[in-house]
C-alpha cells in the first residue's frame, strides 16, 4: 500500500515540475508493472480494447466542433440575446456572462473554449459598464468550469467511457450542479457590484418593446441556439449516438461559420483539425496508461485495500466522501480537466464503488471538484487563461476569484457531495436511474 501511495505522490511531483501529463501516466503504469511483476502480454491487448471504442470517435469530433465555434465569433450573438433579456437590470451583465458561458458550454463542450470565446467579448464589455477588470476576469474564469458540467461535456465523455456508464446519463448527472452554479454566480456578481456605478442598457419603455427586443436578438442568435437542440435532442431522443451527434455538429457549424456567415477560413479549419487531433491523441494515450494502472490495481486487490483503508478511517460514508473530495481537488489543482477526469475515472472510481457511492453521483462530484481545481491556485490553468484574455494581473483577479470560489463554489460542492438527489434528479427523470 505504501509503495502505491508513493507512486501517486511521485507522479504528482513530476507533473508539477513540467513533465507532460501523458508521460507521467506512462511512468506510473510502468512503475506498477515493475512493482507487481504484472504481465504486459495480458495487459496490452486488454487495455487496447478500451481505446478501440467507437464512442471515443466522438471526442475529437466534439473538440473540433468547439474549436471551430471558438474561431467563428458566433458567441457574440448568444451574448446579445441574453443581454436583451436581463441587461437592463443593475448587475445583470454579470448574470449575462454566467448564463452565456453556460450556453456556450452546452455548444462547445469544453471550459477553455467557453472562457476564450465569452471572455474575449464579455471582459471588455463588463469593464466598459463599470465592472472592475479583476472581477470581470474572475467571473469569466469561474464560470468557465461550467464547460466541465454542462452537456455535452467532453471530460464527462471520458468518464463514461472509462467507467462503462451511459454518456447521456453522466451528462444529466452534472446538470443539476451546473444550474446551481449559474444561480450562485449570477447572484454573487450582482452582490459584488451593488454599490458601484454600473451602466445598464436602456430599459424598454413597455412590455411590447421588451418582447420585440428579445425577439430580434433571438432571431439573430437562433442558428446558434438550435445547436444544443440538434445535438442533445438527437441523443436523448434516441435518433443518434453521441458519436453521430458530434459528427452532425461539426458539419452544422462548418455550414454555419464557413458556408453562410463566412467567418472562418480554410486556415482556421486546418488549425482546428490539427489541435483537435493533438488533444485527442494525448488524451487517448492517457486513457491507455490509466487503464493499465487501474487494471493492475484491481487485479492485485489494491483498490479494494484502499477502499477498506478509507472505511477503517471512518465507516461513515460522509467522511469517505470528504476524503475523496480532498483527493479530487488536489488532482484538479495539478492537471487540466481532461487529465484529471481520466485519472479519477480510472483509479478512484473503483474505490468510490466499493464505498457504495452511486456511479452518476460520483460523476457529478468529479466534475465539480475538477472544475474547482482548474481555477484554484497554485496551478489554476483556467484562471490564468482568463487573466491572459482579460489582460489582467493576478493581484487584480485573485481576490474576487477566491470570493466566488469560497462563497459560491464550495457550497455547491457541499450540496453536490452530500445531497445525491441533486445529481440523480435528471437521470431519474430520463429513466437512467430507477
Q: What is the mean pLDDT of each run of 10 residues along the chain (434 residues)?
A: 74 74 81 83 75 73 76 74 80 84 73 74 84 88 85 85 89 93 90 81 80 86 82 82 83 83 80 80 78 78 72 78 86 73 83 88 92 76 78 82 88 94 92 82
Contacts of 38 (CB under 8 A, 6+ apart): 32, 296, 299
Residue for grid cell 471526442: 59
Q: How many other CB atoms sit within 10 Å of the CB of residue 112? A: 22
Whether residue 416 lies inside any domain: the answer is yes
Cα separation, 412 vs 400, whole angstroms: 17
Q: How many other CB atoms sit within 10 Å of the CB of residue 159? A: 27
Report the pLDDT value the prediction gives residue 110, as an integer from 0 to 100: 66
- Residue 391 has φ and ψ, to the nearest 5°, of 50, 50
Report the pLDDT value the prediction gives residue 108, as an integer from 0 to 100: 66
Whether residue 348 lies inside any domain: the answer is yes
The secondary structure of 355-423 as a DSSP string is TT--HHHHHHHHHHHHHHHTTSTTT-HHHHHHHHHTT--HHHHHHHHHHIIIIIIHHHHHHHHH-HHHH
The length of the chain in residues reads: 434
Cα separation, 382 vs 144, whole angstroms: 7
Instruction: Give the CA diameter of the chain.
Output: 76
Cα separation, 328 vs 148, whole angstroms: 14
Contacts of 138 (CB under 8 A, 6+ apart): 383, 386, 397, 398, 400, 401, 403, 404
Specify burial of residue 37 (Cβ count, 10 A radius: 0-12, 13-18, 19+).
exposed
Cα separation, 293 vs 345, whole angstroms: 12
pTM here is 0.82
Whether residue 225 lies inside any domain: the answer is yes
Cα separation, 64 vs 232, whole angstroms: 17
Report the pLDDT value the prediction gives residue 280, as an integer from 0 to 100: 76
> What is the C-alpha radius of gyration for the chain, rounded to an integer number of angstroms?
22
- C-alpha cell of 415? 450540496
Report the pLDDT value the prediction gives residue 125, as an integer from 0 to 100: 83
Cα separation, 127 vs 135, whole angstroms: 9
Helices marked H in 87-132 = 92-108, 111-128
Whether residue 14 lies inside any domain: the answer is no
Whether residue 23 lies inside any domain: the answer is no
Q: How is residue 146 annotated by DSSP?
A: G
Instruction: Judge if the upstream peptide bond of residue 387 is cis by omega within 30 degrees of 0.
Output: no
The Cα angle at residue 241 between residues 240 and 247, in degrees rounded to 5: 80
Whether the CB-CB separation of 57 and 284 falls below 8 Å is answered with no
Cα separation, 109 vs 151, whole angstroms: 7
Cα separation, 17 vs 10, whole angstroms: 11
Report the pLDDT value the prediction gives residue 364, as an integer from 0 to 100: 94
Report the pLDDT value the prediction gives residue 161, as an integer from 0 to 100: 86
Whether residue 20 lies inside any domain: the answer is no
* Closest to 295 measured CA to CA, from 162, 434, 129: 162
Whether residue 190 lies inside any domain: the answer is yes
| Total domains in the fold of the chain | 1
Give rounded-to-5 percent helix, strand, coil for the chain: 80, 0, 20
Instruction: Judge if the upstream peptide bond of residue 378 is cis by omega within 30 degrees of 0.
Output: yes
Q: Which residues span the domain enclosing 115?
A: 55-429
Whether residue 173 lies inside any domain: the answer is yes
Cα separation, 273 vs 258, whole angstroms: 14
Whether the CB-CB separation of 279 and 70 falls below 8 Å is answered with no
The Cα angle at residue 118 between residues 113 and 123, in degrees rounded to 5: 130
Amino acid at each position: 500500500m505504501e509503495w502505491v501511495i508513493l507512486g501517486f505522490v511521485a507522479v504528482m511531483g513530476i507533473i508539477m515540475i513540467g513533465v507532460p501529463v501523458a508521460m507521467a501516466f506512462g511512468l506510473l503504469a510502468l512503475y506498477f508493472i515493475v512493482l507487481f511483476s504484472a504481465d504486459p502480454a495480458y495487459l496490452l491487448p486488454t487495455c487496447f480494447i478500451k481505446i478501440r471504442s467507437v464512442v471515443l470517435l466522438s471526442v475529437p469530433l466534439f473538440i473540433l466542433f468547439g474549436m471551430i465555434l471558438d474561431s467563428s465569433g458566433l458567441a457574440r450573438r448568444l451574448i446579445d440575446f441574453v443581454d436583451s433579456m436581463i441587461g437592463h437590470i443593475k448587475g445583470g451583465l454579470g448574470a449575462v456572462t454566467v448564463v452565456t458561458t453556460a450556453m456556450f458550454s452546452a455548444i462547445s463542450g469544453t471550459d477553455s473554449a467557453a472562457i476564450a470565446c465569452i471572455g474575449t467579448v464579455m471582459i471588455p464589455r463588463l469593464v466598459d459598464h463599470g465592472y472592475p477588470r479583476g472581477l470581470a476576469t474572475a467571473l469569466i474564469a469561474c464560470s468557465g468550469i461550467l464547460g466541465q458540467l454542462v452537456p455535452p461535456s467532453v471530460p464527462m465523455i471520458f468518464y463514461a467511457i472509462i467507467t462503462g456508464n451511459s454518456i447521456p446519463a453522466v451528462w444529466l448527472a452534472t446538470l443539476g450542479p451546473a444550474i446551481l452554479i449559474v444561480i450562485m454566480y449570477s447572484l454573487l456578481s450582482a452582490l459584488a457590484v451593488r454599490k458601484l456605478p454600473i451602466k445598464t442598457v436602456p430599459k424598454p419603455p413597455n412590455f411590447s418593446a421588451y418582447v420585440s427586443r428579445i425577439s430580434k436578438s433571438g432571431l439573430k442568435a437562433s442558428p446558434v441556439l438550435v445547436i444544443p437542440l440538434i445535438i442533445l435532442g438527437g441523443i436523448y431522443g434516441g435518433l443518434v449516438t453521441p458519436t453521430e451527434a458530434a459528427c452532425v455538429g461539426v458539419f452544422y457549424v462548418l455550414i454555419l461559420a464557413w458556408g453562410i456567415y463566412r467567418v472562418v477560413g480554410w486556415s482556421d479549419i486546418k488549425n482546428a483539425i490539427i489541435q483537435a487531433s493533438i488533444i485527442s491523441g494525448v488524451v487517448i494515450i492517457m486513457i491507455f496508461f490509466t487503464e493499465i494502472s487501474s487494471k493492475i490495481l484491481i487485479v492485485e486487490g489494491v483498490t479494494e485495500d484502499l477502499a477498506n483503508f478509507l472505511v477503517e478511517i471512518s465507516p461513515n460514508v460522509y467522511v469517505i466522501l470528504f476524503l475523496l473530495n480532498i483527493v479530487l481537488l488536489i488532482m484538479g489543482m495539478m492537471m487540466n480537466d481532461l487529465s484529471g477526469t481520466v485519472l479519477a475515472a480510472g483509479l478512484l472510481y473503483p474505490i468510490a464503488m466499493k464505498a457504495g457511492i452511486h456511479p452518476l453521483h460520483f460523476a457529478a462530484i468529479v466534475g465539480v471538484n475538477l472544475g474547482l481545481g482548474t481555477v484554484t491556485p497554485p496551478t489554476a490553468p483556467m484562471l490564468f487563461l482568463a487573466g491572459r484574455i482579460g489582460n489582467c494581473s493576478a493581484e487584480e483577479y485573485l481576490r474576487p476569484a477566491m470570493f466566488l470560489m469560497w462563497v459560491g463554489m464550495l457550497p455547491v460542492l457541499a450540496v453536490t457531495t452530500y445531497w445525491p438527489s441533486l445529481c440523480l434528479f435528471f437521470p431519474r427523470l430520463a429513466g437512467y436511474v430507477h
